Chains A and B, each alone.
Chain A
Amino acid sequence: MNALATPPKNFEVKPKLAANGEELGELLEVSMGPHHPSTHGVFRMDVVLDGEKVVKLKPVFGYLHRNHEKIGENISYLANMPYTDRLDYFCSMTNNWAYALTIEKLAGLVVPERAEYIRAIMAELTRLQNHTCLIGFFVQDMGALGTPMMYAFREREKILDLFEEVSGARMMCNYMRFGGVRVDVNDEWIAKTKKVVADYSKFLDEFGTFLTENEIVLARTQFVGVLPKDLAINASITGPMLRAAGVNYDLRKVDKYGIYSRFNFQVPVGEHGDIYDRYMIRVLEMRESIKILEQALRDIPVGPVMDPKAKLRGFRPKAGEVYGRVEAPKGELGFYVISDGSPNPYRYRVRPPSFINLTILEDMCLGHNISDAVVILGSVDIVLGEVDR
């Protein structure tokens, strides 16, 4: 558009010089991704290697930039709901919730109690399946043939069955609405969920024996990719990654959105901030999720699931702006919406946790082996739909 706006091109790779000014082994510039088995989609890292050691790593984004925000600004508030499913396609329920929460904040809608319970149940189920799959993925990045992933997906299918039963779709649930949820759950479903949740701890036990103390897993993860606490806060890291770095910051406790204040659960916190901590924090979080689920399934009240004031069509919130956020499995998922009173948002912005969690990818990978870089990326837990939007 103007001359000033010409973007600078890729930065030059400057070889790291040894102390005596002598060059080390020649640097190898390798592009990992976008078509790479372990970059969780079309993520790309431009890596500069010295031998196998990473001396520079630049993430390259945009290979899945599908203009989510632009589309969101061109369609109505309701029509945008199914698009949020496709942000973090593992966790459509929490995406739905974050978006619904934001718009409810904007329009001042009140969610009935039963709907809040259902939302919490769905969110925690999502967290369970997301964390399980993540562990599967990242053990696969470590080189396992996929067996952990198979087990993870085996359990995931059970949760997806529950989602499908209620919302109709396995992944893209499009389940929540402003002021409640779309469909009520029945008792049969609750009974099924109880069974899945009860079985889940058994599965986690087995998964734990399989992986948690496996010597190779320990060797590959402990003291690798350490993220210091201060850097984590400064770099706006959220979610399990932040807690693994030792910061007690869980939006379910801080913001107490939904009805999380009613549940009795704890926030596990790591010490070293390495990959193993990130892994273990997720495992422990799953245990806490199971606790929440048990309480929620026990206490769920009877009642309506939609705010009677909420309108499906012709929804026009008052002008203003709002930022709403929830603790999605990957971290703080925020939506920032500016309304100008029309049926479409004026500005619609997603604050994707995994995108911002990637800020310090280079810091974590420098000096480590290329194999570690892959595992570190796996432990960040990214989903490209969310990173690039």
Chain B
Amino acid sequence: MIDEGLKSELQKQGVYVTTLEDLYNWGRANSVWPLTFGLACCAIEMMAASMARFDLARFGAEVFRPSPRQADLMIVAGTVTKKMAPLVVRIYNQMPEPKYVIAMGACAISGGPFKQGYNVLKGVDRYLPVDVAIPGCPPRPEALIHAIMTLQEKILAQKLTGPDRPRHLNADVASEFPVPAYGPHDLEPPKNDAVWHPTVIKR
């Protein structure tokens, strides 16, 4: 729902904004530097994706930065345990905007096969906004490349201005998510309600 004033404003800026937006998105999309961040099995496939056979580098995404300050993409590759979850959130918080999250593999999406466990977080999206989820246990390296391509498409479609612009362009939306604390049995809070909106499926 764009109000009329904004619409005309946009039309005035028109070409300028579009070009800038396209250039900006193109720049971001083609330079996605992941964080060196492997959690479990999927991390091996993530490495395999950057190895000779699959070569993530072709997309300019092989620059795995060890410091979150220089990374754009957090590939949550593997099971996020409750012991690890606060750290994951903190590392994500320490990344500069714009930042993206790929939940790689069943465990990262939903806890996967280990979701029955008492120490396993049922999906990293309980605390972080996940941009792309790759099912699979572990997903093939090609699947990760496909996910990065999906992410690129998502980035390319983002708007620079307007109400539906992404989080990092909006000053009013926080780019930090509260870090859960260790509780006596579970993390506190067990989920971040600002991020986690599951659909209800009644059985």
Q: Which residues of A contact B (CB under 8 A)?
A: 34-37, 41-42, 62-68, 70-71, 74, 82-83, 86, 89-90, 149-150, 153-154, 156-157, 170-172, 384-385, 388
Contacts and interface: CB of A to CB of B under 8 A. Distances in A.
B18 to A, nearest CB: 38
Contact of B52 (A41, A42, A66, A150): A150
Given A150-B52, A153-B52, A63 B116 contact: no
B41 A385 contact: yes
B140 A41 contact: no
Most chain A CB within a 10 A radius of its CB, from B37, B43, B45, B117: B117
Given A62-B81, A65-B119, A67-B117, A35 B41 contact: no
B6 interface: no
B66 A153 contact: no
Contacts of B120: 66-67
Most chain B CB within a 10 A radius of its CB, from A65, A66, A82: A66
Contacts of A171: 41, 44-45, 138
Nearest to A89: B41
B39 A41 contact: yes
A86 B39 contact: no
Given A37-B66, A150-B51, A63 B114 contact: no
Most chain B CB within a 10 A radius of its CB, from A37, A42, A154, A170: A42
Contact of B113 (A41, A82, A154): A82
30 contacts: A34-B84, A35-B37, A35-B91, A36-B66, A41-B38, A41-B78, A42-B40, A62-B83, A62-B119, A63-B81, A64-B79, A66-B40, A66-B117, A67-B114, A68-B114, A70-B116, A70-B117, A71-B117, A89-B41, A90-B44, A153-B51, A153-B53, A154-B53, A156-B48, A157-B48, A170-B140, A171-B138, A172-B138, A385-B40, A385-B41
Given A41-B43, A64-B79, A153-B47, 16 more contacts: A35-B35, A35-B68, A41-B40, A66-B81, A67-B118, A67-B120, A68-B114, A86-B113, A89-B40, A149-B47, A153-B48, A153-B51, A154-B52, A157-B51, A157-B52, A172-B41
Contact of B114 (A42, A71, A90, A157): A71
Contacts of A35: 35, 37, 68, 87, 91
B36 interface: yes
B74 to A, nearest CB: 10
Contacts of A41: 38-40, 43, 78
B137 interface: yes
Most chain A CB within a 10 A radius of its CB, from B36, B66, B68, B83: B83
B113 A83 contact: yes
Given A35-B37, A153-B52, A64 B84 contact: yes
A41 B81 CA distance: 13
Interface in B72-116: 78-79, 81, 83-84, 87, 91, 107, 113-114, 116
A170 to B, nearest CB: 7
A62 B39 CA distance: 12
B118 A172 contact: no
Contacts of B68: 35
A93 to B, nearest CB: 14
A340 B157 CA distance: 58
Given A34-B84, A153-B47, A157-B53, A42 B117 contact: no
Contacts of B36: 37
A317 B186 CA distance: 35
B81 A64 contact: yes
Given A35-B87, A150-B52, A65 B41 contact: no
A66 B43 CA distance: 16
Contact of A86 (B37, B41, B52, B119): B41
Interface string B15-57: 0000000000000000000011111110111011001110000
Given A35-B91, A63-B87, A149 B114 contact: no
A132 to B, nearest CB: 12
Nearest to A67: B117
A71 B116 contact: yes
B119 A42 contact: no
A63 B52 contact: no
A42 B35 CA distance: 14
A89 B137 CA distance: 11
Interface in B116-135: 116-120
A36 B84 CA distance: 13
